[in-house]
Structure 1
Amino acid sequence: MGCFSVVKREKNSLARLGRLKTRRGEIETPVFMPVGTQASIKSLTPDEVWDLGARIILANTYHLFLRPGHDLIARLGGLHRFMNWSGAILTDSGGFQVYSLAKFRRIEEEGVWFKSHLDGSQHFLSPEQAMAVQASLNSDIHMVLDTCIPYPLGREETKYLTDLTTRWAVRSRKAASRESLVFGIVQGGMYEDLRRKSAREIVSLGFDGYAVGGLSVGEPRQLMLAMLEVSVAELPGDKPVYLMGVGTPEDIIEAVMRGVDMFDCVLPTRNARRGTLFTSEGKIAIKRAHFRDDPRPLDENCSCYTCRNFSRAYLRHLFMARELLAYRLNTIHNLHFYLELMRQIRQAIKEDRLGELRDRFISKGKEETT
């Protein structure tokens, strides 16, 4: 029996309710995974994240490899004990961070050379090493090492990097720990035929789940959705589908309607620290002057700790004063919003009305509430 089961399929789309079985419990899908890049959801304790409803989070192999080091985390009992998190953890392979953060990188057949963004020290990461690092962290879902394909990029270079991702996936599969789930990653850039080819080759390797990578890298939104459709169409219906690094509430709903089960994105936590807050009536930039004496809660339809206890005026004051409490209260609210969105999505799938939810979020997503 596999790690994933489909409970219900929506009548009007490709959306489905599922259950993902991990060593640390069963997770209802579609699911959003808060991003704990350096073994921490910024500004919150693990208990607070759990109380918000999260049962799986994402941690970053690249960052933990550089600091404090996977060997140290292993000696201290693994990532769950290190950060005192009892839920599931998915670790990415570090491929995107090597591309986006490293001061220097050189991709070779064996792997990738890069210089740390912290101190300029040189490192090498191979598919086998990426799997070994994740095994040391003892996370529950491991991602294979892939090549990040920027946008735009010519066809020949895109094909080379996509084929290299497949060859690395073969090596990753052989090196993978048998104790954790392992997901393959589909690449292919913005070329439909390369996406289909990549998906078919990755599926042939028999992973526990499949991620769609290389989207939301600067391409137009409609192109992103088109490439997502192409990729998902080639994936098996009995395995979880993970869309990496996406995104806005509107994009999440659109992706769920196209068959995606799992999401991660820094948007709710990063936006919280920058003072952009999600509400049922659209986004709020809390620094705006007209919130200075606004006694209303951030969102009158929200039941989070922040909205139950504090006014917009107070939240603006904290943010303008750069008080640490501003980042905590904003993050609590934004993560609650995203996790509540996923609950609403699951309920809408049960009731075959996901299209109604999408229409509401698309209209509100274009607004900024006053």
Structure 2
Amino acid sequence: MLAPFTCNLEGISTQTISKIGGLHKMLGLRDHGFVAIPRDSIQCLPECNSTNKLGASFETPCGRSLVKPVEYVELISSLRPNIWSALADEVPAWVSDKRNKTSVDRTVRWLDECIQLNRAGGSVFGSIVGGSSVQERERCAQEVANRNVSGYWIGIFGLGESMDERPALLNAVTDILEEEKPRLVSGLGLPEEVLQGVAAGIDIFDSTYIYHLTLGGFALTFPLDGVETNLSAFQLTNIGSDQTKINLRATMYRKDTSPIVENCKCYTCQNHTKAYINHLLNVHEMLAQILLEMHNTHHYLSFFHSVREAIKSGNFEQFRLKFSESKCYHLASEAAVACM
């Protein structure tokens, strides 16, 4: 399982990146793996100039941009990522059956075009869509599994489906795909969502969860060592959190001289206090986000490490249940206190 590294390349031409030698050389991260996914935080919808000229339309800070498969493959060729996924027509969970079916047909057609045009090298991941329809997801997964791809990118999560219906949607896809080929999913970032994805057979997660968490002033605090918590030691000072994170903008941390998480090995926890970060956040210092993101990234990666260890030891299901139970206990306790 991998956590994402997001790189904003706005303002840099593809020709410049290509002449430098790709992303690895430009960023100086030759030993790192890069994954290119044509996904934006804003929903992207297809546009059509004519029947034969389809492209993915993305919302950007400079307006809408239409990208056709040939242009997309040229872009990938300049970036030279280790893994890249074909274009996908992502639609939210509430669209009509007809629109959902069109989304699958278009995504499969784009995959065929991307494979045919591929000059970029790297591992091509086939995109799988289907919205909230189990049947359409199965159909798309079957079509993609029949193509010559190195792995699978499973999209359209986080666009309106509920946590309860997600396992069926994930299993409908993963039951069809080849086990030896990696499965990458976008839109699942919450710890409980990650555990849900792992249980369904997902290998790699792409998410903006840490970025948005940090932007809101939140810090991850949930236990990592087997999710062992002393539930009897639950304290009222934790009210307002959800047992996974705390809001460091809150006044209760103004004089708190403890680290974000005791015994955490990240730079922030080793050198700074909650009170200092609370001060930085409330005076809008840029250092606040830097320090907070360092902790959140470290904690999130440690969570993935704990998940991998639980899988290796054969205790993953127990690990997942303990995590869910600890969060449910906290929410129940919070509701009880609120009623007093």
Q: Secondary structure at the match of 1:277?
A: strand
Report SS of the residue matched to 2:195.
helix
CA RMSD of aligned residues (A): 2.3
**Is 2:77–2:120's contact at 8 Å kept on the other side of the alignment?**
no
Report the Cα distance in structure 2 between the residues aligned to 1:275 and 1:69, rounded to whole angstroms: 33
For residues 139 and 84 of structure 1, what CA distance do their matches in structure 2 show? 14
Give 1:195's aligned residue. 137
Task: Label 1:307 to 1:33 Cα distance change in 2 as closer, same or farther (>3 A).
Answer: same
Kindly state the Cα deviation for residue 295 of structure 1 after the two structures are TM-superposed.
Answer: 1.4
* 2:47 counterpart letter in structure 1: R
> Runs of 4 or more off by more than 6 Å in structure 1?
none
Matched, 1:332 2:294: yes
- Tell me which structure has the larger Cα radius of gyration: 2
- SS of structure 2 residue aligned to 1:88: coil
Offset of 1:179 from its aligned partner? 2.7
Aligned partner of 1:246 in structure 2 is 188
> Aligned pair 1:219/2:161, yes or no?
yes
**d(CA) in 2 for partners of 1:98, 1:263:** 15
Match of residue 15 from structure 1? none
Between structures 1 and 2, the one with greater strand share: 1
User: Deviation at 1:116?
Assistant: 6.0
Equivalenced residues, count? 309
Aligned-residue offset at 1:175: 1.4
Q: 1:1-370 maps to which residues of 2 (within 5 A)? A: 30-34=1-5, 36-38=6-8, 64=9, 67-86=11-30, 87-92=32-37, 94=38, 96-97=39-40, 100=43, 106-107=47-48, 109-112=52-55, 114=57, 117-120=60-63, 123-177=65-119, 179-280=121-222, 282-365=244-327, 367=330
TM-score, structure 2 as length reference = 0.84
Distance of 1:207 and 1:148 partners within structure 2: 19
Opposite residue 285 of structure 1, the aligned amino acid is N
1:141/1:306 CA distance change after superposition, 3 Å: same
Query: Contact 2:73–2:120 (CA<8 Å) still a contact in 1?
Result: no
Looking at structure 2, the residues matched to 84 and 354 of structure 1 have their Cα atoms a distance apart, in angstroms, of 36
Separation of aligned partners in 1, 2:26 and 2:203? 28
Paired residue secondary structure (1:217): coil
Q: CA deviation at 1:357?
A: 1.9
- How far residue 98 of structure 1 moved from its aligned partner, in angstroms, is 9.2
Does the aligned pair in 2 maintain the 1:304–1:332 contact within 8 Å? yes
Does the 8 Å CA contact 2:34/2:83 hold for their aligned counterparts?
yes
Unaligned runs of 5+ in 1: 1-29, 39-63
> Quick one: percent identity of the two aligned structures?
26
Higher relative contact order (CA 8 A, sep 6+): 1
CA 1:99 to 1:107, structure 2 compared with 1: closer, same or farther past 3 Å?
farther
TM-score normalized with structure 1 length: 0.78
CA contact (8 A) 1:269 1:335 kept: no
Contact 1:297 1:312 (C-alpha < 8 Å) held by counterparts: yes
